[in-house]
């Protein structure tokens, strides 16, 4: 059971990594500021989710060491910040067209 959860988390981390890269390339190639901002916000959301998933993996499923706890906590805080900033920016750029 635990092994299955780790595999699912690993797959989700990889998927969010792919989406982060895709939205990063899209945001750099767009010339329209609204599309550029929307893609950058989506990239932040995906990156935040990826960091949160990494933190969950580090904090709950591997051997417990102080370094893992510190790394997992830092990843969790960075992930929450990225998620919050991405949602805030996405709402700003989605209202921009109205």
Q: How far apart are CA 96 and CA 86, in angstroms?
A: 15
- Among 95, 96, 9, 93, CA closest to 44: 93
pLDDT digits over 35-83, tens only? 999 999 999 999 999 999 999 999 887 788 899 999 999 999 999 999 9
Q: How far apart are CA 33 and CA 31, in angstroms?
A: 6
The predicted pLDDT at position 98 comes to: 59
Average of per-residue pLDDT values in the chain: 92
- Reading the block at residue 80, the tokens are 């929450």
Q: Is 50 exposed, middle or buried (0-12, 13-18, 19+ CB in 10 A)?
A: buried
């Amino acid at each position: 059971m635990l092994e299955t959860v780790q595999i699912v988390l690993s797959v989700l981390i990889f998927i969010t990594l792919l989406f982060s890269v895709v939205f990063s390339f899209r945001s750099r190639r767009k010339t329209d500021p609204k599309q550029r901002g929307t893609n950058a916000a989506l990239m932040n959301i995906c990156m935040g989710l990826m960091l949160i998933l990494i933190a969950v993996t580090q904090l709950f499923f591997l051997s417990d060491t102080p370094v893992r706890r510190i790394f997992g906590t830092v990843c969790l805080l960075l992930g929450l910040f990225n998620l919050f900033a991405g949602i805030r920016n996405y709402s700003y750029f989605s209202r921009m067209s109205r």
